[in-house]
Amino acid sequence: MKVVVIGGGPAGLAAARAAAGAGADTVLVDSEPTLGGQFHRGDPQRVDPRVRHLANSTVWAVEGMRLHVRTGPADSPSRTGETLNADAVVLATGAHDRVVPFPGWDLPGVYTAGAAQALAKGQKIAIGHRVVVSGTGPFLLPVAESLKAVGAEVLRICDANTGLGWLGRPRAASPAKLAELLGYAVRLGAAWRPRTAVVAAHGEDRVNAVTVAKLNPDWTIRSQERVAVDAVCVGHGFTPRLELAVAAGCVLTDGFVQVDHTGATSVPGWYAAGEVTGIGGADLAAAEGEVAGAAAARGACPTKALAKVRSGRRFAAALADAHPIRPGWHTWLTDNTLICRCEEVTYKDLRAAVDLEASGTRTFKLTSRIGLGLCQGRTCARAAVDIATALSGDRRTFFTPADLQRRPIATPLRLAELASLPEEDL
Amino acid sequence: MRVTIDGVPSQATPGQTVAGALLAAGRTSWRTTRVKSRPRGVFCGIGVCFDCLVTVNGVADVRACQRLLVDGDDIRTEGP
Amino acid sequence: MDVVVVGAGVIGAACADALSAAGLRVTVLDRGPLASGTSAAGEGNILVSDKEPGPELDLALSSLSRWPALVGDTDIEWDPKGGLVVATGDPAPLAHFAAVQREAGVDARWITPAEALEREPHLTTRVTAAVHYPQDAQVQPVLAAQALLSNVRRRGGVLRPGVTVVGLDARGVHTSEGVIACDHVVNACGPWSGEVSRALGAPIAIAPRRGMVLVTAPLPPTVHHKVYDADYVGAVASGDADLQTSTVVESTAAGTILIGSSRERVGFDESIRIRVLRELARKAVALFPSLADVPVMRAYGGFRPYAPDHLPVIGADPRVPGLWHATGHEGAGIGLAAATGALLAELLTGATPHLDPTPFRVDRPGVLECA
C-alpha cells in the first residue's frame, strides 16, 4: 500500500504520520526545503522517520494515480525527475492569499499578507518601516505581530469587516481560540480599525502612501484619508491551491475540494485535507490530515481527530461567515486598474471582453488575456470572474471554479526537462 | 557563502532566498513588465505570482522568493 | 427566411455572417458560451502551406482572400507572418510537395538552409531544405469568431449561448428553451457535429481528433514564422488512430511560443498524457535547440472535427429538407471558415457557388451514417 501525501504543512504532516502509522509505505512530497508549510515557516518540523520525505519537490502533473515529480532547486533546469505510482493520494496543497485588486496594488512595496509573513519569519526581513495591514480575516493579526517582531511599525490593521460576527455564534470557538484572539487584541488593539480598507496605493516606482477608507457594510467607500507608508500588506482570506485536485478530476463544492468525513474526494483513492477543503486554520488542518491519512492507508479511524474535525469545521464556517468578500470593492477600481498583473489587463479591458459576450472561462481569458501570463490566473482569476459576472448583469455566464483552476502543468518546468523524461517514467 | 548580484560580489547566508538577498540589499523592484514597463519585485512571496523573476546562473525565469542561494550563484536582474 | 445556425464557433460564426449579409434572419445557438470549443483551443492558423493541391487547397486560397474584408478594422491579431517548412532529412519529398503546390497557385519559395537560418536564427543547423510560404497567416481565433458574430449582431441577428438543440421537425428546431421556428438549420458544431446530427435525425460521420499544445513563458522575439517540420504534412493527411506528433512552433502576439501538434483519436477524453507532451517537447527542442531552458507554463487540449476522408462537409443534408451541415474542417477551421461561410450561404440561397461544392457534399461515401 503506497500513500503519497502532497504538501508538508500541518495537514500533510499529520496525514503522513497517520498513513505511516497505519503501516502504509508513505511518501511526503513538499516544495520547500524544510517541512511545516506556510504556518510553521521559520520553525522547521520533523516527520515520522518511516515517511520518505521528498523535499524541494513538486508534483507538476497527474495521470490517474501516477504523479510526476521534479526535485531540486526551484525552477532549476537541473532538477531530477521521478514518477510515483500511488495506491492512495492525500492532497494537502494548502492555500495562498486572496487579494482583491485596487488601484496601485501592483506597485512595489505592496505585498500579500503571506509574503510579509514569509519574509518576516523565514528571512527576518521587514517589508517596510511604516506599514499598513489591510484585508479581512484573523490572519491579519499574526502577520501584524510578525511585522512588529522584525521591527516594522504597524500603523493600521484595517479589516473591511467588523471581524466580530462569529463571537455571537454558540460553540463556534474553543476557549483556546478566544484566548489567542484576546492576546492579539491586547497587543495590537491600538492599531485595529474595523470596517476600513486600503483602497488605493500611490507612488511612482514604489508605494509611498495609501488611501485608507472607512467602508459601508457592503465595502463601498464612506470617507477616505491618505496615509504615508513605505509598505502595505494585503490579504482578503485565502484561495485554495486546486490545480492537482482539478487535474485528478476531484469534484469541487463552493470552490473547495468536496470531501466526506474521512477526507475522501469524489475520485477513488484521492483524499484531501487542510485548506484545499475549506479555510479553517492549522489545528483543523492537522486533524483533517490525521483522518485522511488514516483513511488513505485503510487504517483505523482516529476518533479523537474526527471529533476535532467536526468542531473545527463549525468554527471555520463561522469564521467564513464573519469575513465575507463584499462586492463594494468593485467601486474601488478605476478604468486603468490592473486586474491581471502578468498580462497587464485592466478593468476596462475586462469590460470590453464582457461586451463581446466572452462569458465562458476560455473565451474570457483569450479575449481579455486575463490569466494567460506566468501565474496562470492564480493571483487574479477569482477577482476577474467576480468582475465579469457583475458586469454581465442579467446575461448568462458560464464560469466554473474548476475551469479557473485547470492547469494540467501544475508548476512550470523547462522544455528540456519535459523532453528528457525517461521512457520508464511515462 | 559568496554570491554575485548584478555583477556585485556579496555575502549570503544558508537559507537565504534570492528575494531575501535583494530586499536586504535595499532593492524593492528588479524587473519590468513586458507591455507597460511597470516595476515588479516581491508580491506573494510564496511562489504563486511569478512577479519576482530573476536570472540565476544564466537561466531566466527563476522565482526569487523560492530559490535558495548557494555558494557561487550569479544572480542577474533586469535592473534597476 | 429564418435560419438557425447551431454552433457559435468560427465556422458557425462565418456561416451566420454570410447568411445575415445575404439578408436572412439568423439566430445562432450554442450549448455553451460563444466561441468556446475548438475555436478557443487552436493556434489560429490560416494556412496554405500544409495543403496538397485539391479541393481543400482551393477552399483555403478562397478563404485567405476573403478573411480581411470580413473583419474590416476589427483587431483579430492578424499576423501575415508566413510559414517556413523545414526538412532535416531527405529534402526530395518537400521539394516535390512544394512544386505541385506552386502549380496549384500557392506561393511556395524554395530557400537555402542558410536563408532559412537568416529568417529563423534560432533554428537548428541540421536543416537540409526549406520552403517559405509568404501567404500563411495567423489570427487570434476567438477574436476572429467574435468579430464575425459582431457582424451578425449588427445586422439584427440573435446570439443565444447556453441553448442546447434536441431535435428538428416541421415546426422548427427543438431546444432546451423551446421550439424555434425556422426555414433552415445549419449544423456547425465542429467535433460535436456527429452528436448533433444524430439529435437532428440525420447522422453524419464526424468524430473528434484530439490535439495538444504546449505554451511557453513569454519570451523576447525568438520565432518569427510559423515553423514546422516537413513531417507535418504526412500527419495531417493520415487517419491513424494512434498518436501522431509533428513539430509546429510559432510565437504569439503575447510573446509566448506555441508548440504543437499532436493527433489522437481518443473520443472526447480530456485527460492529459505526459507521453504526448514529451514528444512535442522533444521535437520542438530538436528544431529550436535554444528553447531547451524555456519554461513551459501551460498545456491545453482540444478536439478537431474529423471526417473519414479529411475533407470538410459543406452542403444540404439529402435526408432532411432544410438541414445543412458545415463541419469536418479538422485543424484548419479558422483558415477555411471565410470561404465555408460564403459557400454555405451561396448554396442555401440558390446563388452560384464561387467554387465547386461537389467535393464537400454531404452524401459522399463515408459521411452519411444510417439513422
- Please check whether residues C197 and C145 belong to one and the same domain: yes
pLDDT for the residue numbered C238: 60
Q: Across the strands, what pairs with A232?
A: A110, A132
End-to-end CA distance of chain B: 24
- Looking up residue C276, the CATH number of its domain turns out to be 3.30.9.10
- Please check whether residues C102 and C151 belong to one and the same domain: no
Helices (H), ranges, A208-281: 243-248
Q: Cell 437532428 identifies what position?
A: C200
Partner residue opposite A396 with nearest CB, options C162, C216, C292: C162
From chain C, pick out residues whose CB is under 8 angstroms from the CB of A425: 274
CB A269 within 8 Å of CB A67: no
CB C31 within 8 Å of CB C360: no
Best CA proximity match to A247, nearest among A47, A4, A62: A62
Rounded to the nearest 5 degrees, what angle is found at the Cα of A399, between the Cα atoms of A393 and A402? Answer: 155
- Average pLDDT in the C243-249 region? 84
Q: How far apart are CA C84 and CA C115, in angstroms?
A: 11
Provide the shortest C-alpha distance from residue A32 to chain B (in Å).
8
**How does pLDDT run across C152-190, given as a tens digit for each residue?**
999 999 999 999 999 999 999 999 999 999 999 999 999
Which range (A39-48, A71-80, A109-118, C74-83) has the least confidence? A39-48
pLDDT for the residue numbered C234: 61
Q: Cell 485554495 identifies what position?
A: A240
A31 touches chain B (CB under 8 A): yes
pLDDT for the residue numbered A77: 96
- Please check whether residues C153 and C182 belong to one and the same domain: yes
**Peptide bond between residue B80 and the one before it cis (omega within 30 degrees of 0):** yes
Residue A406 domain flag: no
Residue A312 domain flag: no
pLDDT for the residue numbered C320: 95
**How does pLDDT run across C286-298, given as a tens digit for each residue?**
999 999 999 999 9
B44/A97 CB distance under 8 A? yes
Handedness of CA A368, A374, A376, A378 (dihedral sign): negative
| Grid coordinates given for C49 | 502551406
- Please check whether residues C64 and C145 belong to one and the same domain: yes
Q: Which strand (E) or helix (H) includes residue B2?
A: strand B2-5
- Please check whether residues C293 and C272 belong to one and the same domain: yes
**How does pLDDT run across A313-336, given as a tens digit for each residue?**
988 888 888 899 999 999 999 999
Given a cut of 90, whether residue A42 has pLDDT beyond it is no
Residue A47 domain flag: yes
B8 touches chain C (CB under 8 A): no
- Please check whether residues C22 and C56 belong to one and the same domain: yes
Task: Name every residue whose Cβ is closer than 8 Å to that of residue C96 and which is 6 or more positions away in sequence.
Answer: none
Integer Rg of chain A from CA = 21
Q: How far apart are CA A413 and CA C161, in angstroms?
A: 37
- Please check whether residues A180 and A227 belong to one and the same domain: yes
Considering only alpha carbons, which residue of chain B is nearest residue A78? B59
Q: How many domains, in total, are found in chain C?
A: 2
From chain A, pick out residues whose CB is under 8 angstroms from the CB of B35: 343-344
CB atoms within 10 A of CB A98: 23
Side-chain half-sphere of C299: how many Cα atoms within 13 Å?
A: 33
Given a cut of 70, whether residue A295 has pLDDT beyond it is yes
CB A157 within 8 Å of CB A151: no
Q: How far apart are CA A387 and CA A319, in angstroms?
A: 24
- Average pLDDT in the C350-371 region? 93
- Please check whether residues A81 and A112 belong to one and the same domain: no
- Please check whether residues A279 and A344 belong to one and the same domain: no
A416/C285 CB distance under 8 A? yes
Given a cut of 90, whether residue A404 has pLDDT beyond it is no
pLDDT bin (cut points 50, 70, 90) of residue C233 is low
Q: Across the strands, what pairs with B5?
A: B8, B75
Partner residue opposite B34 with nearest CB, options C255, C294, C295: C255
- Please check whether residues C182 and C234 belong to one and the same domain: no
Instruction: Give which of A414, A421, A423 to mutate to test C binding, by max C Cβ within 10 Å.
Output: A414
Given a cut of 60, whether residue A168 has pLDDT beyond it is no
C293/B59 CB distance under 8 A? yes
- Please check whether residues C96 and C114 belong to one and the same domain: yes
- Please check whether residues A114 and A175 belong to one and the same domain: yes
Residue A168 domain flag: yes
pLDDT bin (cut points 50, 70, 90) of residue A189 is confident
Task: Name every residue whose Cβ is closer than 8 Å to that of residue C47 and which is 6 or more positions away in sequence.
Answer: C60, C83, C133, C136, C137, C226, C332, C335
Q: How far apart are CA C167 and CA A235, in angstroms?
A: 51
pLDDT for the residue numbered C245: 80
| Grid coordinates given for A330 | 468593485
Residue at which a domain ends, from A301, A323, A345: A301
Q: Cell 483602497 identifies what position?
A: A199
pLDDT for the residue numbered C101: 96
- Please check whether residues A79 and A22 belong to one and the same domain: yes
Which range (A47-56, A172-181, A196-205, A414-423) has the least confidence? A172-181
B71 touches chain C (CB under 8 A): no
C218/B60 CB distance under 8 A? no
pLDDT for the residue numbered C236: 58
pLDDT bin (cut points 50, 70, 90) of residue A164 is low
CB A15 within 8 Å of CB A285: no
Report the DSSP pairing between strands C25-30 and B74-76.
unpaired
B61/C217 CB distance under 8 A? yes
Partner residue opposite C291 with nearest CB, options A63, A247, A415: A415
Q: Which strand (E) or helix (H) includes residue A68?
A: strand A66-71
Which amino acid belongs to residue C101? Q
| Grid coordinates given for C85 | 517548412
The phi-psi region of residue A343 (left if phi > 0; otherwise alpha if psi is between -120 and 50; otherwise beta) is alpha
- Looking up residue A178, the CATH number of its domain turns out to be 3.50.50.60
| Grid coordinates given for C107 | 506561393
Rounded to the nearest 5 degrees, what angle is found at the Cα of A380, between the Cα atoms of A377 and A382? Answer: 95
- Please check whether residues C145 and C61 belong to one and the same domain: yes
Rounded to the nearest 5 degrees, what angle is found at the Cα of B20, between the Cα atoms of A111 and A153? Answer: 50
Q: Which domains are delineated in chain B? A: 2-76 (3.10.20.30)
Given a cut of 60, whether residue A170 has pLDDT beyond it is no
CB A146 within 8 Å of CB A118: no
Given a cut of 90, whether residue A105 has pLDDT beyond it is yes
Q: Cell 511545516 identifies what position?
A: A36
Q: How many helices (H) and strands (E) does chain A have?
A: 12, 23
- Please check whether residues A355 and A295 belong to one and the same domain: no
Q: How far apart are CA C310 and CA C9, in angstroms?
A: 19
Q: Is C116 exposed, middle or buried (0-12, 13-18, 19+ CB in 10 A)?
A: buried
From chain C, pick out residues whose CB is under 8 angstroms from the CB of A392: none
Give the residue numbers spanning the domain of A276: 2-95+239-301
Task: Name every residue whose Cβ is closer than 8 Å to that of residue A34 and which is 6 or more positions away in sequence.
Answer: A44, A45, A55
pLDDT for the residue numbered C333: 97
A413 touches chain C (CB under 8 A): yes
- Average pLDDT in the A24-48 region? 93
Between A61 and A187, the higher pLDDT residue: A61
Chains that touch A (3 or more CB pairs under 8 A): B, C
Q: Average pLDDT, whole number, for chain C?
A: 94
CB C246 within 8 Å of CB C283: yes
A421/C278 CB distance under 8 A? yes
- Please check whether residues C128 and C257 belong to one and the same domain: yes
From chain B, pick out residues whose CB is under 8 angstroms from the CB of A206: 28-29, 39
pLDDT bin (cut points 50, 70, 90) of residue A195 is very high
pLDDT for the residue numbered A244: 97
Residues recorded for chain C:
371
Q: Is B14 exposed, middle or buried (0-12, 13-18, 19+ CB in 10 A)?
A: exposed
- Please check whether residues A229 and A247 belong to one and the same domain: no
- Looking up residue A376, the CATH number of its domain turns out to be 1.10.10.1100
Given a cut of 60, whether residue A166 has pLDDT beyond it is no
Considering only alpha carbons, which residue of chain A is nearest residue B51? A342
- Looking up residue C154, the CATH number of its domain turns out to be 3.50.50.60
From chain C, pick out residues whose CB is under 8 angstroms from the CB of A74: none
Q: Which strand (E) or helix (H) includes residue B23?
A: helix B18-24
End-to-end CA distance of chain C: 28
Residue A411, CA distances (Å) to A90, A406, C50, C191 in order: 18, 12, 34, 30
pLDDT > 70 in chain A, percent:
97
- Please check whether residues A204 and A246 belong to one and the same domain: no
B44/A412 CB distance under 8 A? no
Q: How many domains, in total, are found in chain A?
A: 3
Residue C367 domain flag: no
Given a cut of 60, whether residue A9 has pLDDT beyond it is yes
**How does pLDDT run across A124-144, given as a tens digit for each residue?**
999 999 999 999 998 999 999
B60 touches chain C (CB under 8 A): yes
From chain B, pick out residues whose CB is under 8 angstroms from the CB of A112: 43-46, 49
- Please check whether residues C323 and C179 belong to one and the same domain: yes
- Please check whether residues A15 and A34 belong to one and the same domain: yes
Chains A & C: contacts with CB separation below 8 Å: 126
Residue A185, CA distances (Å) to A179, A426, C75, C276 in order: 10, 54, 55, 56
- Please check whether residues C162 and C290 belong to one and the same domain: no
A116 touches chain B (CB under 8 A): yes
Given a cut of 80, whether residue C100 has pLDDT beyond it is yes
pLDDT bin (cut points 50, 70, 90) of residue A389 is very high
Give the residue numbers spanning the domain of C192: 2-71+140-205+309-360
B24/A375 CB distance under 8 A? no
Which amino acid belongs to residue C210? R
**How does pLDDT run across A331-348, given as a tens digit for each residue?**
999 999 999 999 999 999
**How does pLDDT run across A257-268, given as a tens digit for each residue?**
999 999 999 999
Residue C56 domain flag: yes
